[in-house]
Amino acid sequence: MAGDRKKKSVTKRSSRSTTGRNKAGRQGKTIPARRRSADQKSRTASRARSRHPDQTVAGTKEHTNVQLSEHHTEAPRKRTFLEEADAGTPTSGSWRARLHEIIFEAETEAGRLFDVVLLWAIVLSVVAVILESVRGIRLHAGMLLSILEWTFTGLFTIEYILRIISVRRPLKYIFSFFGMVDLLSILPAYISLFSGQYYYLTIVRILRLLRIFRIFKLARYLGAAQTLLRALRAARPKITVFMGAAFSVVVIIGTLMYVIEGEEHGFTSIPTSIYWAIVTLTTVGYGDITPQTVAGKALAALAMFIGYGIIVVPTGIVSAEFVQFSRQEINTQSCPDCAAEGHAADALFCRHCGARL
């Protein structure tokens, strides 16, 4: 019995020791495995950072920027007038855009009112210049005409300055045709302030007649005038070809008349004969040079018939183009960059500079 008890106790101790060793072995195997996995992850991350350092830094910066933007949000600063001028594009809804809409476009009620007032001012200023040329009216109403002169000069000066301010590219407007017309319409009045002698005042009075160029500004606001200008531009190639052919006919007829009539009948040279051919073909007929021979008279009659055809053909070309463009609706918008007008009804961009309308 005692021996059996000893055997059982020894067996229990051995089993306990075996179990303890197994637990210790399992624990010893588990701990290094966790450490190995952590080491592998750290090595993998370090390799990724070494291969793509920019992406890691960029990701960190983006995360930082997002956090900063969430905590520090600033309202956009409104640009000043000089910054808008440097940028070349006024902000939508700014006072410059509103001013451009009123001055250059006729789509709004304010724009139409501005156009009507401007047209009446142009007409009245031209009438004042015409009346001032009459001596009797100038003697009796000279003071009134002078007041009207400076009133219109001041109004057109303000208009000229506002046009320069409202466009994105002022130099393009200043050196455009209507920009030069606007400048010439106000310069004579200011030049007269610095001229003290009668001779120079006479020259200034002649320069003041340039104000009649204001009447050309009427064409900018009339759809029919814009249509006519577009028709003339479209017919320009055809008219150029026709005028070349007409010039050839003039030279041929003039040369033939010089050969037929000769110097004894007034056709002293080919240029003189060409002059006669031009006068005859245009049906003017001054009568200073006339053919005397039968052949010369026959050639003159032929030239007269050809002259009627020369007059009719350009008229037909321009009329056909005018009818074609009359069927198209005219866009009254003006380009905010170059102040060009006369765009198509569905135009979104300027036909000259490409800026958005």
Written as tens digits, the pLDDT of the chain (357 aa) is 445 554 445 455 555 555 555 544 444 444 455 555 555 655 655 555 555 444 444 444 444 444 444 444 444 555 444 344 434 445 455 788 888 888 877 667 787 788 788 888 888 888 887 888 788 888 898 889 889 888 988 998 998 999 998 888 888 888 888 788 888 888 877 887 776 554 444 445 555 555 555 555 555 555 666 777 788 888 889 989 999 999 999 999 999 999 999 888 889 999 999 999 999 998 888 888 899 999 999 999 999 999 888 888 888 888 888 888 777 655 556 677 776 766 666 677 887 777 777
* Ordered DSSP codes for 165-177: HHSS-HHHHHTSH
Residues belonging to the chain: 357
pLDDT of res. 74: 47
pLDDT of res. 189: 79
State both tokens at 253.
């007829």
Q: How is domain 224-326 classified at the architecture level of CATH?
A: Orthogonal Bundle (1.10)
What DSSP state is assigned to residue 344?
A: E
Q: Which fold has domain 88-221?
A: Four Helix Bundle (Hemerythrin (Met), subunit A) (1.20.120)
CB 66 within 8 A of CB 58: no
Cα(250)–Cα(257) distance, rounded to whole angstroms? 11
pTM given for the model: 0.46
Put residue 87 in one of left, alpha, beta given phi > 0 → left and psi -120 to 50 → alpha: alpha
CB 347 within 8 A of CB 329: no
* Ordered DSSP codes for 54-74: HHHHHHHHHHHHHHHHHH---
pLDDT of res. 48: 52
Cα(52)–Cα(46) distance, rounded to whole angstroms? 10
Cα(173)–Cα(226) distance, rounded to whole angstroms? 18
Query: Would you list the domain boundaries of the chain?
Result: 88-221, 224-326
pLDDT of res. 256: 94
pLDDT of res. 249: 93
Among residues 236, 337, 249, 334, which one has the least CA distance to residue 299? 249
What DSSP state is assigned to residue 133?
A: T
Helix residue spans in the chain (DSSP H): 2-51, 53-71, 81-87, 95-104, 109-132, 135-140, 142-166, 170-174, 177-191, 198-208, 223-261, 270-281, 294-326
